[in-house]
Chain A
């Protein structure tokens, strides 16, 4: 069975995510789909699986054009998607999960025996002996749950299996089992669409590789025609055109230092940020970037290692302590974690002061006005509820909230996500101004050009560890090489 997607375009709320993408997958091949974060890989899979409907373009299976209005249609056409997040019910058994939505019925009742036998047969077929069809999914390891996902796909008689970063949650030895399993699928004539940005797996498995960038297809080549460095260049290579405020020329003393920082998703992180410096944190999804910031902020504190502020060791065991010590954190999801949406601009801007610095909270109207002017907020007034503001203005309120506390260290997690170009530039200016005033800034950003444009130094994480540090103006290729675990020689940064 072959799959041909042609001219697929999709946009959300006017923002184009996919532009005229072509993709074809043949029976028995592993076709890798690669690209940076936000290149459109997951969206393309969701179009293929009927979760999203394309604005333009066609999907054909064996030459016959199909429309998938919902996931069920895609299943019936023989397409199964293994999503990045598991679609399993932890409280149910393996067999109940495998046949969810398609339970076999005999004389009006679910035939549980047939269900378990069929599941056992599928497990045997792919060589899984570690657990049976009656095991409760909650008790299985992540890798075993991955196997259940694959068996679930096979039980639909899928001829095309798409996997969205199937190894993201797996340990090293489990990855080997998975690649083995993928080979067994293709041996049965199943077409596998494999989304990943881990180079070793891609080159070990893929027959052909399609590169996506900014929602458009760059090229499709056979794996034999490519070398890892070439592929990385295809994924990221683009001109650095945007304007960023000039970098700092001199720095103060070290403000923030982490020594051997270890938490569930990260281990042995050493890093320093000096006063006036903006340090970028790069890495793929799941590399531990957010976890690092949350650990410094005390939201999920380090389990081992030390944090020093201005050379003095501190124990930041809760956000409250971190804030009191002068650490501020702009979180990734501003609607869920950054703002009280139904409250006014003023209430949000003074939230941190009221919560932690009671004495400083009697600042009065003038200070609030100053703050909002500093961040350049445009609103109908301080009484406006923040949920009515644009994304950019909401983010400015979040920044105002933190600047009100006069922090020494500012942690930024995707500070410009989902805001327009103008607001992005304003946030960049503001961050740089604050750094110049002596703040130490640690910033996570998935947009590589932006991260490189803003950073005085870049720390790259790979699977929870510090893969290396790069100086200002490092190339995207260097960053991606480190982030994909395809190390370049360690670059020493002059201090």
Chain B
């Protein structure tokens, strides 16, 4: 079969996938927002405004991509917000303003987040603790560490590393490319690796997966490690934006519940087994557009919260 024919055969599947609705909704909301803002004498579709929206979605986007994988595996992760705070501090303290320490800082963050993911995954699979309780518990342990050791921002990030948060390639912020790269890698993982296929199987039906010879424990643990790694990358990004580590940067951003909201908005079933990264990206953008629109219209914050609720 030719490559073209393959692509044609795939096209309808993408168009009917669970993510399609979210992308359509996103398009409609953007048009609506543009119409409203233009009617009020503003200019919506300016490059500045679009980029503003994009960069505000970066951190949430990266976390939500990781969250997607945890949710697809039939789990979920409530520890991400605390982990973001912790990793921003690890990055800033290890780097301590020294450009030579950037690489060790990044590696330390990735190691710490992989460890947290491993603990989450093992508590859920080996101790048979419900994911909600397990990850909340691990999150509260991290919260305890943060509260006992830090009172405010600490450490400092070298100027070179801050370029991750502020530089652009042409008009596009580097960080947006980072988010898209994370999303692309996650999509490749889910669709083209055995472990990715197994994530869908475990989330769809653990017993079926087990009877088919899928290593279910390993799959769940891996999903949590990836989810935590994504939170770690988001922590790195936020550290580069702030120029320092901040214990409450994750919880203040509400990254735990908002990442889950973005995943579900993106058509991924909360029980697992169905959905994907594409929808999550659309979900994150949708939340960002709504956020931006309400900011421009200076609407009541509570009204905004209730619109974002579904």
Chain A contact residues, CB within 8 Å of chain B:
49, 51, 71-72, 75, 83, 87-92, 96, 100-103, 105, 108-110, 112-113, 134, 152
Contact = CB atoms under 8 A, between A and B. Distances in A.
Q: 9 smallest A-B Cβ distances: which pairs?
A: A101-B213, A72-B213, A89-B204, A101-B212, A91-B274, A109-B192, A100-B212, A101-B214, A87-B208
Interface size class of B (residues with CB under 8 A): 20 to 34
B211 A51 contact: yes
Contact of A92 (B6, B188, B204): B204
A134 B16 CA distance: 13
A91 B199 CA distance: 13
A110 B195 CA distance: 9
Given A87-B208, A92-B204, A110 B192 contact: yes
A87 B274 CA distance: 17
B210 A103 contact: no
Interface string B57-76: 00000000000000000000
B197 A100 contact: yes
A83 B194 CA distance: 24
Contact of A96 (B197, B205, B274): B197
Contact of B200 (A49, A83, A91, A113): A91
Contacts of B208: 87-89, 100
Contact of A89 (B9, B201, B210): B201
B273 interface: yes
A90 B269 CA distance: 13
B224 interface: no
B198 A89 contact: no
B210 A71 contact: yes
Interface in B186-220: 188, 191-194, 196-198, 200-201, 204-205, 207-214
23 contacts: A71-B213, A83-B211, A87-B207, A87-B212, A88-B208, A89-B205, A89-B208, A92-B204, A100-B209, A100-B212, A100-B213, A101-B209, A101-B212, A101-B214, A103-B194, A109-B188, A109-B193, A110-B194, A110-B197, A112-B191, A113-B6, A134-B13, A152-B212
Given A89-B204, A100-B209, 9 more contacts: A71-B210, A87-B207, A87-B208, A87-B212, A91-B200, A91-B204, A92-B204, A110-B193, A152-B212
A87 B211 contact: yes
Interface in B269-305: 273-274
Given A91-B204, A112-B192, A101 B198 contact: yes
Contacts of B209: 89, 100-101
Nearest to A50: B211
B197 to A, nearest CB: 5
Interface in B1-51: 1, 6, 9, 13
Contacts of A71: 210-213
A108 B191 CA distance: 12
A152 B208 CA distance: 12
A90 B204 contact: yes
A163 to B, nearest CB: 15
Nearest to A132: B9
Contacts of A92: 200-201, 204
A91 B74 CA distance: 13
Given A71-B210, A72-B213, A101 B201 contact: yes
Contacts of B192: 109-110, 112
A102 B194 CA distance: 8
Contacts of A112: 191-192
Interface-central residue, B194, B201, B209, by most chain A CB under 10 Å:
B194
Nearest to B202: A89
A110 B193 CA distance: 5
A91 B273 contact: yes
B54 to A, nearest CB: 29
Nearest to A81: B211
A335 B232 CA distance: 43
A119 to B, nearest CB: 14
A414 to B, nearest CB: 23
Contacts of A87: 207-208, 211-212
Interface-central residue, B201, B207, B209, by most chain A CB under 10 Å:
B201
Nearest to B10: A134
Interface string B252-283: 00000000000000000000011000000000
A390 B40 CA distance: 72
Nearest to B208: A87
B9 A134 contact: yes
Nearest to B273: A91
Interface string B158-199: 000000000000000000000000000000100111101110
Nearest to A76: B213
A88 B27 CA distance: 35
B204 A75 contact: no
B216 to A, nearest CB: 10
B200 A89 contact: yes
Nearest to B6: A113
Contact of B201 (A51, A100, A108): A100
Contacts of B197: 96, 100, 103, 110
A92 B205 CA distance: 11
Given A88-B208, A89-B208, A113-B6, A75 B200 contact: no
Nearest to A75: B213
B219 to A, nearest CB: 10
A113 B6 CA distance: 9
Contacts of A113: 1, 6
Contacts of B207: 87
Nearest to A74: B213
A109 B207 CA distance: 25
Contacts of A51: 211
A71 B193 CA distance: 22
Nearest to B12: A134
Contacts of A134: 9, 13
A43 to B, nearest CB: 15
A102 B214 CA distance: 8
Nearest to A102: B213
B73 to A, nearest CB: 13
Nearest to B275: A91
A25 to B, nearest CB: 21
Contacts of A88: 208
Contacts of B191: 110, 112
Contacts of B211: 49, 51, 71, 83, 87
A134 B208 CA distance: 20
Nearest to A110: B192
A42 B192 CA distance: 36
